[in-house]
Chain A
Amino acid sequence: MGEMEELRKEMENLKDQITAARKTFQDSTLQEAAAGVTVVGRVQLKTRKTLRGHLAKIYAMHWGTDSTLCVSASQDGKLIVWDTITTNKVNAIPLKSSWVMTCAYAPSGNLVACGGLDNMCSIYNLKGKDGNVKVMRELAAHTGYLSCCRFLSDTEIITSSGDCTCVLWDIETGTQKTVFAGHQGDAMSLGVSPDFKYFISGACDFTAKLWDIREAECRQTFGGHESDINAIGFFPNGNAVITGSDDATCKLYDLRADQELLTYQDSSIMCGVTSLASSKSGRLLLAGHDDFNVNIWDMLKAERVGVLAGHDNRVSCIGVSSDGMACCTGSWDSFLKIWN
C-alpha cells in the first residue's frame, strides 16, 4: 500500500508542476485580448431545407467536402447520402445493425463509413462499377463500440472506440496500422487537423489528447473538464481544440500555449454537451446538448448569442459545412434540417 501512495503522490506532484509551468506562460486571458472586438449580436438562423426520408432518430451526420452532399445515420438502420440543395436522396444504404453511432464522408466523396455497437467500422464504396453501393471493407478489431470515425483519405481512416483506444486503419488490407492507446476511459469522439498530420480525441476519462499520426504518439493531454468529453473538434485554423462535455460546458484549448483558454458555460445550462461544430471563421460555436437544444456561442467573448431550433428541442446532432455556408441538424423525429 505504501508504494502506491508514494506513486500517487509523485503523480500529483508532476501534475501540479505541469499546471504551474503552463501558468507561467499565461500572460493574458482570451477575454482580455478580445475586449476590443465588436459584438456579434443575436444570431437567429432560418431553416432552408428539410431532408425527409429516415424513419427514426438521427444519431449522426457528416458533411461531404463539397458542402453539398452529406451523409446521415439513423436508428432505422440506414445511411442516407443527401443532396442538400435539391433535398434528394442520392443513396440509401441499409446497415446490418440499427445501433449506429457515427458516420463519415471521405474527402474524395468516393466512400462513406459508419460504425456503432457492432464494434466495427464499415466502409462503403459509393462509386462502384455497377452503380450499387456495397460494403467495401469491415474493419474489425476493436473490442468496444465504435464511437467515431474520420477518413484521412480513401486508403486510411481513424476510429475511436469504447475500448479506450483510437486506431489508424489501412482500408485496402483492412488492418490496423497504429493503435493509439492512453485514454483511461471510453474514447467518444475524434477530429482530424486541417493538415491531416494530427488528430484529437475526447474520452470518458475527462481528457482530450492530441496525437501525431505518423509518429504514433500522444503529444499533448488537456484536462479541466469535470466529466466525460463527448464531442471534440479542431478550431478552423488548427491551432486550438474545442471540447464539449457532460459537465454542460465547452472548452477551448490552445495547442501552442498548451492550456485552456476559455470555458463556455452558463448557470442556466445544466445539460451535457454531446455534439459541437464551429463556424468557418471560428467566431461562432454551436453546441448541441443532450436535451436536444443547441446553444450558439460567441467564441471570443464567451457569450451566448442565440439558440437554434428554439422550440421543440429536437436536435440530436449537428455539423457545419466546410465552406461555412450552412449548418445541418439531425433530430430525434427523423428529419434533418439545413440552416443558415
Chain B
Amino acid sequence: MTQDQKTASMMSGQEEEELPVNHTGPKGVINDWRRFKLDSLDPTVPQSKRELLRQMSSPREDDKERLNRKMSAQEYEMIQEEDEGSLKRYRTQSMQEMHERLSFGPAFEEVKELESGDAFLEVIEKEHQMTLVIVHIYQHGVKGCEQLNSCLDCLALEYPSIRFCRMDAVATGAVERFTPEVLPALLVYKAGESLAHFLAVTKHFNEDFFATDVEGFLNEYGLLPKKEFTAWADDEDEGGDVE
C-alpha cells in the first residue's frame, strides 16, 4: 500500500480498502464533502445515490477521460444546503479521527541510553514511522548536560509517544564532531529522516532551565504533538467585525 492508502485506511477504519484520496486543497474539499455525504445519516439520500457516490470516489484506472474531471454531473446535483448540526458533528469527528491516527503508535516511558553508534542507527531507522525520536548527545562534565537530562526525563513522561534517547558523545564514535562547544546537542528524527538538530541547545535557555523551557523550545519548531485533543466549544459567532 502507498503511504496515502495506509493513511486513508487508518483514518476511516473501513473494511473495504480505500483508494488514495487528497486531504488538502480543492480535491481535499471534494473528498471531505463526499465523506460527509456518505457518513451523514441523511435518509433523503437514496440507496442508489449512496452507491453512486461510492463509485464516483474511486475512478477506474482505464477511464482516462474520467480522471481529468474530479466531480461528476450527478455529484454537482447533490450539493445542497447542509444541516449545520450534522456539519458540526462531522467536523469534530474528522479532527478526532486525525488526532487518533497520530496517537496511534508505540508508547514509551523513559529516556533510553544508547551505548553505541549501531544502537543509534537502530533507533533512528527502526522506530515506527510515526514516532518522533529525540536524541540528546551529552558528555560528563559539560555544562548543561545533566540539567538537560533531567528535563528530558520529565518530558519523557509527559510525551509517551516520543522516543527520547541520550548518548554519551564518546559512545557515538564521532567525538571530533561532538566537541564540548556543541554540547549538549539535540537531534530530532522521524521515519529515518533528520527533522532538526540543535547544537549547543542550552544557548537558547537561561542558566537555570526547566522541562517547561525545553518543552516550549521544541514547540516553537512544531516538533511536539498536542498532549490531548480538546473538542471545541462552538460559540455562536454570527460574524461581522470582531474586536
Contact = CB atoms under 8 A, between A and B. Distances in A.
A100 B29 contact: yes
Given A145-B71, A288-B24, A117 B226 contact: no
B23 A90 contact: no
B221 A45 contact: yes
Question: What is the interface of chain B mostly: helix, strand, loop, or mixed?
Answer: mixed
A308 interface: yes
Given A311-B224, A337-B222, A186 B242 contact: no
Interface string A233-268: 000000000000010000000000000000000001
Interface in B1-32: 2-4, 7, 22-30, 32
Given A204-B67, A274-B22, A291-B3, A92 B222 contact: no
Interface in A143-165: 144-145, 147-148, 162, 164
A57 B94 contact: yes
B28 to A, nearest CB: 7
A109 interface: no
A332 B70 contact: no
A301 interface: no
Contacts, number: 183
Query: Which of the listed residues B4, B197, B238 has the most CB atoms from chain A within 10 Å of its own CB?
Result: B4
Query: Which of the listed residues B28, B223, B226 has the most CB atoms from chain A within 10 Å of its own CB?
Result: B28
A260 B31 CA distance: 31
B211 interface: no
A132 interface: yes
B193 A268 contact: yes
Nearest to A333: B95
Contact of B69 (A101, A204, A337): A204
B26 A162 contact: yes
A307 interface: yes
Query: Which of the listed residues A57, A316, A337 has the most CB atoms from chain B within 10 Å of its own CB?
Result: A57
A145 B220 contact: no
Contact of A91 (B24, B82, B220, B241): B241
A145 B32 CA distance: 14
A310 B221 contact: yes
Interface in A295-340: 306-314, 316-317, 332-334, 337
Given A117-B79, A311-B224, A75 B32 contact: yes
Query: Which of the listed residues B28, B29, B70, B190 has the most CB atoms from chain A within 10 Å of its own CB?
Result: B29
A313 B102 CA distance: 9
Interface residues of B, number: 55
A291 B241 contact: no
Contacts of B188: 310
B74 interface: no
Given A92-B242, A333-B98, A162 B71 contact: yes
B234 A55 contact: yes
A270 interface: yes
A222 interface: no
A272 B30 CA distance: 16
Given A291-B7, A311-B190, A188 B223 contact: no
Contacts of A282: none
Given A56-B91, A310-B190, A94 B238 contact: yes
B95 A271 contact: no
A90 B241 contact: yes
A312 B240 contact: no
Given A55-B232, A56-B94, A185 B241 contact: no
B22 A290 contact: yes
Given A99-B33, A311-B222, A312-B102, A133 B239 contact: yes
Interface in B196-243: 196-197, 219-226, 232, 234, 237-243
The 4 closest A-B pairs by CB, nearest first: A185-B68, A309-B222, A274-B25, A310-B195
19 contacts: A47-B222, A56-B91, A76-B91, A91-B241, A92-B239, A98-B82, A117-B33, A204-B70, A231-B25, A270-B2, A274-B24, A275-B24, A288-B24, A290-B4, A290-B22, A290-B25, A309-B222, A317-B24, A333-B226
Interface of B: 2-4, 7, 22-30, 32-33, 67-71, 76, 79, 81-82, 87, 91, 94-95, 98-99, 102, 132, 188, 190, 193, 195-197, 219-226, 232, 234, 237-243
